[in-house]
A and B are shown apart, each in its own frame.
Chain A
Amino acid sequence: MAKALKINKNTEEGLLQLLEFLLDSEKVEGIFSLKKLNKNGNIAYSLITNKDELKGAVPLDPHMPVNAGKILSHFTLAEKTKRPVAAVLRPCELRAFVELIKRAQGSLENILLISLSCGGVFPIDTMNNGDAKKRSSSYAESLKKAENSPDVRKTCQSCDNFLPQLADMTVLTVGKKDADKECIIYLNTKQGENFAKDAPGNTISAEIESSETEKLKSKRKENKEKLFKDFEKTGNGISGFSRVFAACLGCHGCGEACPICYCTLCDFDSKTCEYKPESYESELEHKGGLKIPPGTLFYHLGRMSHMAVSCVACGMCSDVCPVNIPVADVFTKVGAALQDVFQYSPGKDIEEPVPSGTFKEEEFKEVGEH
């Protein structure tokens, strides 16, 4: 049985109370959380240091403007933070942060990780739609019943990895029937317990996995399998694959939004990937025609070869694509296949090396010998 903090307030308020306590008691110097901006209803991930500013914080708002793993990496890229901060982030964001740390792009030190059992998020471009309120309440209802909200992204509806690993604290949202009255925050680590010491609320012991989380998990697994199958129907083979990406602008926005793609200058934006005049001439000669700019499939396959084994299935790539290409469907599918082959689970264990950076002498022995 794990320890948990029980607060007699609705889930978001309970969490906010804890955050306020952390700031007040100076246990942390700042808090990363989603926060409302001015009038438009837009939100942004913000580093909050002042208690008053916490009023605008919406840590559980179902939007992901940017994968927060990327932001924490940016925050700790130059060096680890000397002063402790807390960060509220979704499981896929946490996984992304861990993957980035494994690539020397950040540090976990002095960061209190607060995550949640995740009901998913809405598509990014609905952030300032007028109907946000309406969607939110139906979202809350689905969460209580541990069901998929129809408004959340396709990626989230098929995400069976919605219980965070490595979080110091986990806020219970999935299947929390009395979320309007009570807030449960699991304390998963020693660090989590230390920070929650003296926080208002009662300590209880409870189990994070329940029949409710199981229910959602199996539903989402089912969706995932279906998603992959559906992709096979349309996207398989060279003609299917090139159809899927026919509309691709080559803007590389997907890679830019992807937390795992951290390179400052992407290989595929570099001179080595530009076509030489002779390449145009020779390709025209045997094809009669060529999509301009060329290199769409090279970009996507190449990016895949660089990072798909670490794909945390956060869906950001699909979310930002201006021409609605289901990039994440492809990347999560390939990612899952690679993770299966290398028995790797991205973001699960900070000590486990990234498969593309290591090898074992005793593996894949049959390869190359035929």
Chain B
Amino acid sequence: MNSTGKEKKEKTATGKILSVEGDLRKTIKGLLKKLLKNNTLDAVLVPMKAPETESYAWVLLEDETLLDAADPLPPVMTVQGGRALDSITKQGDVYLKIGALMRPCEIRAAVELYKLNQVKLEHIHLISIDCPGALPLKEYMDNPIKSKENFEKIVQKGDKNEALRPVCQICQHFSLLSSPSTEETKASSSPDTENHSAADLHIGFFGGNGKKLCLTASTSKGKDLLEKLELSQDDSLEYWKAAGEKIRQSALKNRESFNKEWQEKIGGIENFTTALDACINCHNCMRVCPVCYCQQCYFDSKILENSPETYLQRAQERGSLRFPLDTLLFHLGRMSHMVLSCVSCGACEDACPMSVPVSQIFSMVGDQTQKSFQYVPGTDRNVPLPLQSFLKDEFCEVEIPCECDQSLLGKA
């Protein structure tokens, strides 16, 4: 690898500091308000609690007074932010300068969608925020008041606790401040550092003890935002990074045991089938997954339909045939389509009516597959999707060499 990684480090070595006045959320919203007021942004996309309900939704707003009801740190992830952003730019660029305040996994999904030519980022400013994790949606919906209390404790302490969704407990990308460096990945060799980041601006608060925020910009768009925020105080990032790193190390440990556990749980076709037993093939996991963007999913198409005769034959082969059919094919097929881009956001599991551990399975498989391609989805806009590029001399070990190859190799 060349020196891009290093350069970047130097560039982002300091951040802007802001002290929290009273309430963390209020301070964050204050930043957005300022950007709306001084017309740096035309609109912002933020989570908001719907009036008179306990539920959250994304709201795109222009009117800054609406920000009062917004919640930049919602206890749950309802719609995956990448998906929300996708719906905004689906039919073309919206000519509004939009600031989207999202969790890192949502930002990463948006970046994957950008690479897939779905989300258009030209007028979008991606603002990521240190993520305390999210609670399981169902549990929250069943008992919102108590869940919220729980969640507040997590935000205060900044630890990854067991009340969070499983994928949050193993997440290493909860802060783009201390995200695993791209050096580990197949970073692009292009010299401009402009797009070597997920978010334009990052808001960190892990390490600030609830008293300080740390803002860093990694693109010119982000720098522009930072400038317009007129924050004067600089701080070295070392300390902030260390705070995140501590959490990350423990998450990394969790990830290792998690991978092992799931490899065992779903190893072999029988175990895999059992893990998916409860699946009713409703495809809700696919429909809420930010990366599954196809309008018409292959697995919803007519292609898998057959005649009653065929079904009876299939049943007779093993005595009985469960319906709906092709559950396994659906999950494996979906995996083959998108798991390299799986950002381990947990949206699929949250939306599963049967609480099938889909996101855990996808996250484990995703992690393993991504490692073998040295690919981390959504952290760098310039790194191409693994299946859209190849190198001539990669993965040679998967080929079974024949004799003439051997002799050729010998000659060379």
Contact = CB atoms under 8 A, between A and B. Distances in A.
A13 interface: no
Interface residues of A, number: 73
A249 B322 contact: no
Interface string B86-102: 01111111111000000
A90 B120 CA distance: 48
B53 A280 contact: no
Interface stretch (B203-211, B293-301, B370-378): B293-301
Interface string A7-46: 0000000000000000000000110100101111010111
B84 A293 contact: yes
B61 A289 contact: yes
5 nearest CB pairs, A to B: A288-B63, A247-B55, A50-B319, A246-B50, A289-B61
Interface residues of B, number: 73
Interface in B317-363: 319-325, 350-355
A30 B312 contact: yes
Contact of B91 (A48, A275, A320): A275
B284 interface: yes
Interface in B66-124: 66, 78-79, 83-84, 87-96
B322 A45 contact: yes
A34 to B, nearest CB: 10
B60 interface: yes
Best-buried of B43, B96, B300, B319 by chain A (most CB within 10 Å): B319
Interface stretch (B3-11, B166-174, B274-282): B274-282
Nearest to A319: B353
A151 B350 CA distance: 24
A247 B287 contact: no
Interface of B: 43, 45, 50-53, 55-63, 65-66, 78-79, 83-84, 87-96, 137-138, 141-142, 273-274, 277-278, 280-284, 287-288, 295-296, 300-302, 305-309, 311-312, 315-316, 319-325, 350-355
A82 to B, nearest CB: 7
Best-buried of B55, B61, B65 by chain A (most CB within 10 Å): B55
Interface of A: 29-30, 32, 35, 37-40, 42, 44-50, 52-53, 56, 65-66, 71, 74-83, 85, 124-125, 127-128, 243, 246-247, 249-253, 256-257, 264-265, 269-271, 274-277, 280-281, 284-285, 288-294, 319-324
A247 B57 contact: yes
Best-buried of B84, B138, B312, B320 by chain A (most CB within 10 Å): B320
B25 to A, nearest CB: 18
Given A243-B51, A292-B57, 9 more contacts: A77-B305, A253-B351, A271-B91, A274-B91, A289-B60, A292-B45, A320-B280, A320-B282, A322-B353
Contact of B284 (A47, A76, A288, A320): A320
Nearest to B80: A249
A93 to B, nearest CB: 12
